[in-house]
Structure 1
Amino acid sequence: MSNDLKIGVIGIPGKWSTETLADAVQAKTGYRLVIDMSEVTLDLTRMQLMYRGTNLCELDGLIVKKISAEYSPSTLDRLEMLRVAEQQGVRVFSRVESMLRLIDRLSCTITLKNAGIPMPNTCITEDVEQAINTVKQYGEAVFKPLFSTKARGMTLINAKQADSQIRQQVSAFKQANPVMYIQQKLNLSGQDLGLVFLAGNYLGTYARVSQSDAWNTTIHSGGRYAAFEPSSEIIEMATQAQSLFNMDFTTVDVAITDNGPIVFEVSAFGGFRGAKEGCDVDAAALYVEHVLKTIDSHDE
């Protein structure tokens, strides 16, 4: 039955994770379609979602590896468009509602905190004076855009600076981010973790290890992937965190701090390269197997 299925991969054409996923789909189904959402047109009169002559609403499934190269409010709009395909019976992986709750950093954080998941001290404010006071309270604070990946747009502000410097940095951040998301900077000992989950099942853990003096460990900032064996406590915490979002595939970002493990976020899409290089998990192949089983069981 799999040979008859038409499953599109939404991602960034030419990028390793997107192409690897498309390769895995093609190997199982003989069908290959990599979709760049910037070229997708939604015709709400005809209820068609068109990409280069293909109506995505006529496919059997859509796997979202990446909705845009960088996150912004327009990322939410691209996801909303996929709801038209869902409504017409196309199975989207992961479900649009689940991804929408994760793209916005604040939405993810509030869901995690409401469930009692350990997280860094966090303050959300639009007030510059309150933001300055928060920096002084935290000692060192990371200002994060509500929509970002790989630490893009984040600003580290130290309370040891002169008040005028703190105010200048806070004001500069607020110009681009009216709602300021502020977290206390923690001692991560040069690494943080990605715990990989498929359909709620734990697959493995990789570490992102800093290779420089950068304050964050992202690969974008020069970090590298490494193997890591987490404690049962960490696995249980991450399992609980991802269970709040009903994702088909995701990674949970965890850090081991001086006060114990904490969760930074749950990913809307999850990382293939970290799984492959850090814990030798072929996430793309396993994900496609899950997709095929899900679609086949739905059709029976």
Structure 2
Amino acid sequence: MTRKIAIIGTPEKWSTEALADAMAARTGYRQVVDMGQAVLDLGAGTLTCDGVDLCQLDGLVLKKIAEDYSPDALDRLEMLRMAEAAGVRIFSPPVNVLRLMDRLACTMTLRLADIPMPETTITESETAAAAALERYGAAVFKPLFSTKARGMMLLDSDAPDARDRIAEFHATNPVMYIQQKADLSGADLGMVFLNGDYLCTYARISQTGSWNTTIHSGGKYAAFDPTPELIDLGRRAQAPFGLTFTTVDIALTSAGPIVFEVSAFGGYSGALKGCGIDAAALVADHVLQEIGA
């Protein structure tokens, strides 16, 4: 029996297509779903895209819900609940991913789980934001919805235009998320988990002198061998979210390791380029095992 399992992602993007290829190689069925083209008909009880009713499939794998994180992406996750209610297995479940799309929701979950994180202040007050910056010395102002450091602002407390830059950031970010700048020493880590099981860890190493190490900012992947204690930290950080595949972002500082965030969709490229692990193949095998192919 051929299982029809579609990949929700961004057409023509490497990780989406790699996952679709891995699934097709195992099932003979290949379908990439762009949720920006999906139509939810509540009266008919259908969720269609490119002529395919997602409610009639055997499974869906969430690789990417939108190219950029935004409140609109949350609505796309809500739409997927129609397919889930029809009995379609979704990996990872939409309600679990919802808790990660908003940076504040992710942070609250991590802090309540007693995961070490950078000092952080959330406020709508520019006066309170300036006070937090003064305490931290240097801080990164982060949008609540963003990936790959997009929209983030690094600010030193002694900057002569600090107040003006806070006001500028506040104009487009009513709720300000302010995090003390951590000394990454030019690198941070991505710890990869499949269904809660540890797979590997890769490092993102800055090549440009940028304050962040993301690949978007010119960082490069490299292998990293973590201690058992560090693996345990990553495992505890991802555990509350119940994701099929994820990456935990960890930095090593002079005060000990800290966790920045847990990824909603995981780093397929980092696992391959940094660790030599074909995450797409492993995810496809796991999904088929869960569905009972």
Whether TM exceeds 0.5 here: the answer is: yes
| Separation in 2, partners of 1:47, 1:179 | 36
Report the Cα offset of residue 231 of structure 1.
1.2
Letter of the structure 2 residue corresponding to residue 16 of structure 1: W
Identity of aligned residues (%): 59
| Separation in 2, partners of 1:34, 1:52 | 9
Q: Determine whether 1:41 maps to 2:39.
A: yes
Find the counterpart in structure 2 of residue 224 from structure 1.
Answer: 220
Report the Cα offset of residue 213 of structure 1.
1.5
Letter of the structure 2 residue corresponding to residue 144 of structure 1: K
| Separation in 2, partners of 1:173, 1:41 | 35
| Separation in 2, partners of 1:240, 1:178 | 31
Tell me if the contact between 2:190 and 2:201 (Cα under 8 Å) persists in the aligned partners. Answer: yes
Find the counterpart in structure 1 of residue 284 from structure 2.
Answer: 288
| Separation in 1, partners of 2:54, 2:40 | 10
Letter of the structure 2 residue corresponding to residue 212 of structure 1: T
Secondary structure at the aligned position of 1:203 is classed as strand
Q: How does 1:1-300 map to 2 (within 5 A)?
A: 1=1, 4-162=2-160, 165-296=161-292
Gaps spanning 5+ residues in structure 1: where? none
Task: Say how many residue pairs are matched.
Answer: 293
Secondary structure at the aligned position of 1:289 is classed as helix
Runs of 4 or more consecutive aligned structure 1 residues displaced over 2 Å after TM superposition = none
Tell me if the contact between 2:186 and 2:209 (Cα under 8 Å) persists in the aligned partners. Answer: no
Q: TM-score scaled to structure 1, two decimals?
A: 0.97
| Separation in 1, partners of 2:149, 2:245 | 21
Q: TM-score scaled to structure 2, two decimals?
A: 0.99
Deviations 1:80-129 (A, max 9, x none): 10011101100010011110001110000000000100000000000000
Gaps spanning 5+ residues in structure 2: where? none
Deviations 1:109-161 (A, max 9, x none): 00000010000000000000000111111000000000000000000110111
Letter of the structure 2 residue corresponding to residue 9 of structure 1: I
| Separation in 1, partners of 2:43, 2:171 | 38
Secondary structure at the aligned position of 2:117 is classed as coil
| Separation in 2, partners of 1:110, 1:192 | 21
